[in-house]
Structure 1
Amino acid sequence: MASDSPVYLLLGATGGIGSEVAHRLADDGAQLVLGARSEDDLDDLAAATGGDAMPLDATEFEQVQAAVSHATDTYGGLDGVVNFVGSVLLKPAHLTSIDEYRTQIEKNLDTAFNTVKAAGRPMMRSGGSIVLMASAVSRTGLKNHEAIAAAKGGVTGLMRAAAATYSGRGIRVNAVAPGLIGGGENFASQMSEQILSSEAGRKQSEKMHALGRVGTPEDVAPAVTWLLDPETDWVTGQVIGVDGGLGTVRPG
């Protein structure tokens, strides 16, 4: 049955940014399909937003494909998909194990590729928007970020290639590149906990951002919803930095 409301699939939906985006889209009347590993958090978010809960591991293509199929079979189409899944590792390359490196690639780059691969074919019917999560660390060199910078740099390259591939079918592919995100007991703060757990770490992180603070999910969510909006149908292949200046500006 076709939905009169826009239909969006959010992967990693229970994280800080994902949850904030889910609430904003639901408030605007969107129909949501929500994917995440944590079933309890997922059920709570689905109940709060009226979305469909799809417990899944986004590193497994077949599970992402199943979520896409659920959206298209249940609501007759898919207007947009966002991959919020990710992880952070802060280690120099010589101290990073191969397993740690592969985990960064798997959680950040593989999940992004699975998103594009699963959504591309059904979205070719009527177009739409795919949003991936890049990072400020893929835009500028920061020490001890080799593994995550490699993974997020791959996301940026994937995004631009997919934007070119699918542009003729009306599919826009873009990425949002946050800086360090904290705030609350959520996925975003869990990823940055090792940095922000100490006062010294927080102060140093704040100094690295030109605007003098780390970000919050509420800072990033508007960029994601803007890229999903059909009114931004002339924007594709772009990395939107929402990073307090971390990726491009050095504080004076």
Structure 2
Amino acid sequence: MNDTAAGVQACKLVILGATGAVGSCLSRRLKGAGHDVFLAGRNPQVLRYLSEELAAPALGLDVLETGSIERTLQSASETLDHIDGVVNCIGSVLLKPAHLTSDEEWSEVLAVNLTSA
């Protein structure tokens, strides 16, 4: 680990959900603070852009695919040499009234939020 500008030890972190609003903002802040980040998210265009912007390794991730988190962490560990921490920014929110939400939409939101936790 290296010292960052604030005197905090630089860490090697995996950011799950890096392509969302919270995950991308946090990735930028952590990289800007001197930490090494490995980006994982499900939006390939945003992931590619963020990876290039931050000069950070990245991997597509869909938590609903069995074993995807384990594969992501294995890849991150191999790429970064080791992992100091994992930040979970995965989450899904459906912005519509409950009475207009289909069973399929409800199930997907639950699956994403519970599986990633």
Aligned to 1:33: 38
| Aligned mates of 1:57, 1:73 — CA distance in 2 | 20
Unmatched 5+ stretches in structure 2: 3-9
Query: How far 1:100 moved relative to its partner?
Result: 2.0
* Aligned match for 2:60, one of 55, 63, 83: 55
Aligned to 1:168: none
Query: How far 1:95 moved relative to its partner?
Result: 5.0
* Aligned match for 1:81, one of 67, 83, 86: 86
* Aligned match for 2:72, one of 54, 67, 73: 67
* Aligned match for 2:97, one of 87, 91, 103: 91
| TM-score (normalised: structure 2) | 0.79
- Higher helix fraction: Structure 1 or Structure 2? 1
| TM-score (normalised: structure 1) | 0.40
Aligned to 1:13: 18
1:201-227 per-residue CA deviation (whole Å, 9 max, x = no partner) reads xxxxxxxxxxxxxxxxxxxxxxxxxxx
Partner amino acid, structure 2, of 1:99: E
Query: How far 1:14 moved relative to its partner?
Result: 1.6
| Aligned mates of 2:78, 2:59 — CA distance in 1 | 14
Task: Work out which of the two has the higher radius of gyration on C-alpha atoms and give 1 or 2.
Answer: 1
Larger RCO: Structure 1 or Structure 2 (Cα < 8 Å, ≥ 6 residues apart)? 2
| Aligned mates of 1:42, 1:20 — CA distance in 2 | 13
Change in 2 beyond 3 A, CA 1:38/1:95: closer
Unmatched 5+ stretches in structure 1: 113-252
Aligned to 2:47: 42
Query: Number of residues paired by the alignment?
Result: 109
Aligned CA RMSD, in angstroms, stands at 1.9
| Aligned mates of 2:60, 2:100 — CA distance in 1 | 34
| Aligned mates of 1:26, 1:59 — CA distance in 2 | 27
Counterparts of residues 211-230 of structure 1 (less than 5 Å): none
| Aligned mates of 1:61, 1:26 — CA distance in 2 | 29
Change in 2 beyond 3 A, CA 1:96/1:44: closer
Counterparts of residues 100-111 of structure 1 (less than 5 Å): 100-111=105-116
Identity %: 34
- SS at 1:8 equivalent: strand
Query: How far 1:76 moved relative to its partner?
Result: 2.9
Contact 1:88 1:104 in 2 (8 A): yes
Query: How far 1:106 moved relative to its partner?
Result: 1.1
